[in-house]
Amino acid sequence: MTYTQISILAVAVVIVLDLGVVRTGLLRRRVFWVSYSIIATFQLITNGILTGFRIVRYEDSAIVGSSTPVDAAPPFLGDGRIAYAPFEDLLFGFALVVLTMVLWVWLGRHDVQRTPYAGPPRLALRRSPRSRRP
C-alpha cells in the first residue's frame, strides 16, 4: 500500500470508530475543530521544518505529487505538498489526534482511573470502593 492509501484508510477508521463504534461524537463538536486547527498549524510548522530541510524524505512513488530531484528541495506549496510536507501527513496527524482523543473520552466514560494516583504505576486500572484508603 502507498502512503496515500494508508493515510486515507487511517482517517476512515477513526471516523467510523468515533461516530459508529465508540460514539464519542468528537467530530460533531465545534470545540474539537477549533482545537484541531491549532494542532494542525503546529503540525504544518514542524513538518515544514523537517521536510523543507530534507531531514525527512518521502519516496515519490508512495505519495501524491511528482518526483523532485535529489538535490532540490520539495516545493513549499503545490504538487501535493503543504508547507513542504505531503498532504498525507495532515491526514495521518488527524487520524492520530482523533484516535487519541476518542480513546481518552471512552476510557473516561468507563471510569478508568478517574482519580490520579501518586507513586509507581499500579497493576489494576480501576480501584474497587473497598480498597480505598481513609
The pLDDT-based confidence of 134 (bands split at 50, 70, 90) is: low
Instruction: Specify whether the CB–CB gap between 2 and 88 falls below 8 A.
Output: no
Q: Is the pLDDT of residue 51 over 90?
A: no
Antiparallel, parallel or unpaired: β 85-86 and 81-82 = antiparallel
The percent of residues above 70 in pLDDT, for the chain, comes to 78
The per-residue b/e assignment along 39-63, b for 16 or more CB within 10 angstroms, e otherwise, is ebeebbeebbeebbeeeeebeeeeb
Q: Is the pLDDT of residue 131 over 60?
A: no
Q: Is the pLDDT of residue 4 over 70?
A: yes
Cell numbers for 134, please give them: 481513609
Picking from 41, 45, 75, 42, the residue whose alpha carbon sits closest to that of residue 58 is 75
The pLDDT-based confidence of 68 (bands split at 50, 70, 90) is: low
Instruction: Specify whether the CB–CB gap between 86 and 58 falls below 8 A.
Output: yes
Picking from 46, 47, 52, the residue whose alpha carbon sits closest to that of residue 87 is 47
Q: What is the mean pLDDT of the chain?
A: 83
- When pLDDT is averaged across residues 108-116 and rounded to a whole number, the result is 71
What is the rounded CA–CA span in Å between residue 48 and residue 128?
Answer: 48
